[in-house]
Amino acid sequence: MCPERPQISFSLSSPSTESEAKPSVVSLQAGFSGAAVRKQKVNEENPARTRMSSLLMLGRTGARQFVTRGRFMKDGRCQFTCLAECQFDRRTRNMGRAISYSSSFNHYRHFSATAANLNAAANQNTPSYSYVIVGAGSAGCVLANRLSEDVHESVLLLEAGPKDMLLGSLRLSWKIHMPAALTYNLCDDKYNWYYHTLPQAHMDNRVLYWPRGRVWGGSSSLNAMVYIRGHAEDYNRWQREGAEGWEYERCLPYFKKAQCHELGENRYRGGSGPLHVSRGKTNHPLHKAFIEAGQQAGYPFTDDMNGYQQEGLGWMDMTVHRGKRWSSASAYLRPALGRPNLKTEVRCLTTKILFDGNRAVGVEYTQDGQKKRVFADKEVILSGGAINSPQLLMLSGVGNADDLKQLDIPVVQHLPGVGSNLQDHLELYVQQQCTQPITLYKAQKPFTMVKIGLEWLTMFTGYGATAHLESGGFIRSRPHVTHPDIQFHFLPSQVIDHGRVASKIEAYQVHVGPMRSTSIGWLRLKSANPLDHPILQPNYLSNDMDVWEFRESVKLSREIFAQKAFDEFRGPEVQPGPQVQSDADIDAFVRRKADSAYHPSCTCKMGSPSDPMAVVDSNTRVLGLERLRVVDASIMPSIVSGNLNAPTIMMAEKAADIIRGRPPLSDPGVPVYRPATLNTQR
């Protein structure tokens, strides 16, 4: 007798009519408390005699083997019959005798496959999964984990870059996982797409460098590990911009679901999610001076800028756990790798989405110089980030029809918003020499670096175990601004050219910049070649208001550095430098020195289907097409007031619930700090 009737579902990735090309491979997917996908060569002489088996891994309860026969029916469907079930003996690791044999134990399901699917499958033995996710970055890793929680679904995660570990995942790569090593990967293109913008007309025609992660974890494996959510009003604005259901009280539960904060759970913080978040441990006197100086300048202290009160200065949160970078690969992907229904491929560049009419059915990618295809039974999900997702859409015929025709790309869907609405944060460094030898300058000397490296490698502690951006804050640039529009990150060190040039002095700096600039840019394809980087035009500082906000940012930073708390450390100003005083001088300095804070976003904005520039709807589905979603920083309707990693992870958590048809989480009426008066700036 069959002790327990398993739920077996079969999926087919082969031709289904005998009149079409002969089937070559069928894949059997069986759902149970573990799931396995087994591909089986079809008996070409007589497909009806094809026997299939699938091993189900059941953890503690052992494993079962099902012997199944697949028959290809005249009506174009496939019927499977489960013939026998065997018990797996965990001690001998052998399959035991059949414990059931019953022709009545007969599960079958009918399938129909699309023409594109059938032909490609016939030609190439093409595999298929429930979901194909393009990009293992901040968002992609979340989706891979959450969607593969359902054992009845199979998930394929494609990543253009390599794994983030060495020696077959046995060793951490210190360049990625040592928090203090963060600038190393900005110096070369090993894990980095290494993009550049067009010359910026309002920034002395400078070409700006945009690093982006190309590795497991994506940009969360290269970023500065600052954990910031943005302000509640950002999400309320999204809702007003047409992202129905994305107001703060419906986003907060997903920030919490993602997070495990070392200070424990409260109404704003999560205490048991996969994304570990911690505070700096250095207690560096310059960080303390910065927070104290902020209060001396009249700004509030905030004990959690991701909680009730963003406004003010205080200690920042970091995605660092036990001294190691906690990327989305560490948080979400690695814990899910053991699942048999999650498959990952690395070093594969997805070059095209495959459509059957207006329905996405799979993707094409290149790996090891070979062109490959894979099919998605349910959905293709793009999580390639704010540059690559719109690029892939356009390469596949989804974008502005006129632009696509010029490149001879057949138009699948005219969506002019693809690549538009490009937004980013610019920042610059106000730098001051330090009169005491306490900055990170010494830590960059070879001998000290080795010492720091050894301590990190053996104990994951010390100066290697932090990203050093441990304090910072948010202020308003002027009265009547409802919530902070300027952000500070303080660093007890000097950074030159993205860390690509070594500092030669004891100095500290504050990274400062406006959070809601109004200059909007775009990106377009340079050619129909997927290897060509797209043309990136952020249009930085094209609006006078943005320049004014930057001028204020510089003045307000200088004012904080001039407070008493810095008296014992303050040397001469390095930049802008004492000669830069007039508004015109400051503006010129801004145009000469401001640089990307690495937050390109909003290039496939989420919005109402009636908005002609929206690319995805509030459920993250690409408008006008079926079975295609985008989930990453590109779908932000507008940029948030803060860094983008935590918001992107939150979006992916929420999208996963949407995709799985789960009821949305919500925290109605959660209180948010408002300044006592808006008549003053502080």
Ligand X SMILES: Cc1cc2nc3c(=O)[nH]c(=O)nc-3n(C[C@H](O)[C@H](O)[C@H](O)COP(=O)(O)OP(=O)(O)OC[C@H]3O[C@@H](n4cnc5c(N)ncnc54)[C@H](O)[C@@H]3O)c2cc1C
Catalytic residue set: 599
Helix axis angle for 544-561 and 285-296, nearest 10°, is 110
Beta strands in 174-284 (DSSP E): 195-200, 206-210, 226-227, 259-261, 275-279
3-state helix, strand, coil in the chain (%, to 5): 25, 30, 45
Tell me which residues in 494-533 interact with ligand X (CB under 6 A). Answer: none
Phi, psi of 362 (to 5 degrees): 170, -170
Q: Which residue's CB is nearer to ligand X, number 100 or number 383?
A: 383
Q: Which residue's CB is nearer to ligand X, number 12 or number 633?
A: 633
Least Cβ distance, residue 554 to ligand X (angstroms): 21
**# of chain residues touching ligand X (CB under 6 A):** 42
Q: Which residue's CB is nearer to ligand X, number 290 or number 332?
A: 332
Helix axis angle for 248-258 and 645-659, nearest 10°, is 100
Please give the Cα distance from 193 to 136 (Å, whole number): 14
Please give the Cα distance from 49 to 46 (Å, whole number): 6
Beta strands in 576-627 (DSSP E): 595-596
Please give the Cα distance from 649 to 137 (Å, whole number): 9
Least Cβ distance, residue 164 to ligand X (angstroms): 10
Tell me which residues in 134-173 interact with ligand X (CB under 6 A). Answer: 134-140, 158-161
* Part of the chain binding ligand X (CB under 6 A), chosen from 32-40, 240-248, 606-614, 644-652: 644-652
Phi, psi of 673 (to 5 degrees): -60, 135
Has 151 been labeled as part of a binding site? Answer: no
Could you tell me which of 144, 137, 140, 213 has the C-alpha nearest to residue 175?
Answer: 213
Q: Which residue's CB is nearer to ligand X, number 159 or number 377?
A: 159
643 binds ligand X per the rule CB under 6 A: yes
Q: Which of 606, 633, 640, 655 binds ligand X (CB under 6 A)?
A: 633
Could you tell me which of 477, 558, 471, 557 has the C-alpha nearest to residue 514?
Answer: 477
603 binds ligand X per the rule CB under 6 A: no
The residue type of 149 is: E
Q: Which residue's CB is nearer to ligand X, number 587 or number 632?
A: 632
Q: Which residue's CB is nearer to ligand X, number 221 or number 563?
A: 221
Q: Which of 28, 181, 313, 392 binds ligand X (CB under 6 A)?
A: 392
385 binds ligand X per the rule CB under 6 A: yes
CB 526 within 8 A of CB 558: no
Q: Which residue's CB is nearer to ligand X, number 197 or number 648?
A: 648
DSSP three-state, residue 55: strand
Least Cβ distance, residue 458 to ligand X (angstroms): 26
384 binds ligand X per the rule CB under 6 A: yes
Please give the Cα distance from 301 to 314 (Å, whole number): 6
* Part of the chain binding ligand X (CB under 6 A), chosen from 221-229, 282-290, 307-315, 653-661: 221-229
Please give the Cα distance from 252 to 670 (Å, whole number): 9
Least Cβ distance, residue 158 to ligand X (angstroms): 5
Please give the Cα distance from 380 to 369 (Å, whole number): 23
222 binds ligand X per the rule CB under 6 A: yes
Q: Which two tokens stand for residue 389?
A: 């997702």
Helix axis angle for 138-148 and 645-659, nearest 10°, is 30
Q: Which residue's CB is nearer to ligand X, number 35 or number 376?
A: 376
Residue 151: alpha-carbon gap to chain centroid: 23
388 binds ligand X per the rule CB under 6 A: yes
Q: Which of 35, 165, 495, 646 binds ligand X (CB under 6 A)?
A: 646
Q: Which two tokens stand for residue 154?
A: 């199979």
Has 226 been labeled as part of a binding site? Answer: yes
Please give the Cα distance from 330 to 276 (Å, whole number): 9
Has 223 been labeled as part of a binding site? Answer: yes
Q: Which residue's CB is nearer to ligand X, number 226 or number 523?
A: 226
DSSP three-state, residue 15: coil
Question: Nearest 10 degrees: CA dihedral of 12, 13, 15, 18?
Answer: -40
Q: Which of 515, 644, 650, 655 binds ligand X (CB under 6 A)?
A: 644
350 binds ligand X per the rule CB under 6 A: yes
Please give the Cα distance from 297 to 511 (Å, whole number): 18
Least Cβ distance, residue 536 to ligand X (angstroms): 14
Could you tell me which of 139, 3, 142, 20 has the C-alpha nearest to residue 64?
Answer: 3
* Part of the chain binding ligand X (CB under 6 A), chosen from 128-136, 259-267, 565-573, 575-583: 128-136
Q: ∠ CA(512), CA(480), CA(541), 5° rounding?
A: 40
Least Cβ distance, residue 659 to ligand X (angstroms): 16
In angstroms, the Cα distances linking 24 to 14, 44, 46 are 7, 7, 11
Q: Which two tokens stand for residue 222?
A: 């290269």
Least Cβ distance, residue 346 to ligand X (angstroms): 9
Cis preceding linkage at 416, omega within 30: no
Least Cβ distance, residue 505 to ligand X (angstroms): 23
User: Nearest-CB residue to ligand X?
Assistant: 137
Could you tell me which of 549, 246, 554, 250 has the C-alpha nearest to residue 428?
Answer: 554
220 binds ligand X per the rule CB under 6 A: yes
The residue type of 508 is: Y
* Part of the chain binding ligand X (CB under 6 A), chosen from 13-21, 215-223, 256-264, 548-556: 215-223
Element (H, E) at 214: none
Least Cβ distance, residue 600 to ligand X (angstroms): 8
Least Cβ distance, residue 283 to ligand X (angstroms): 21
219 binds ligand X per the rule CB under 6 A: yes
| CA end-to-end distance (rounded Å), the chain | 76
Tell me which residues in 472-491 interact with ligand X (CB under 6 A). Answer: none
Q: Which of 383, 420, 477, 603 binds ligand X (CB under 6 A)?
A: 383
Please give the Cα distance from 87 to 54 (Å, whole number): 13
Has 225 been labeled as part of a binding site? Answer: yes
CB 644 within 8 A of CB 424: no
Q: Which residue's CB is nearer to ligand X, number 328 or number 557?
A: 328
Q: Which residue's CB is nearer to ligand X, number 297 or number 644?
A: 644
Per-residue string for binding with ligand X, 174-213, x by CB under 6 A? ------------x------------------------xxx
DSSP three-state, residue 233: helix
224 binds ligand X per the rule CB under 6 A: yes
218 binds ligand X per the rule CB under 6 A: yes
Least Cβ distance, residue 308 to ligand X (angstroms): 20
598 binds ligand X per the rule CB under 6 A: yes
Has 363 been labeled as part of a binding site? Answer: no
Annotated binding site: 215, 223-226
Q: Which residues are annotated as a binding site for FAD?
A: 215, 223-226
Q: Would you tell me which residues interact with ligand X (CB under 6 A)? A: 134-140, 158-161, 186, 211-214, 218-220, 222-226, 228, 349-350, 383-386, 388, 392, 598-599, 632-633, 643-646, 648
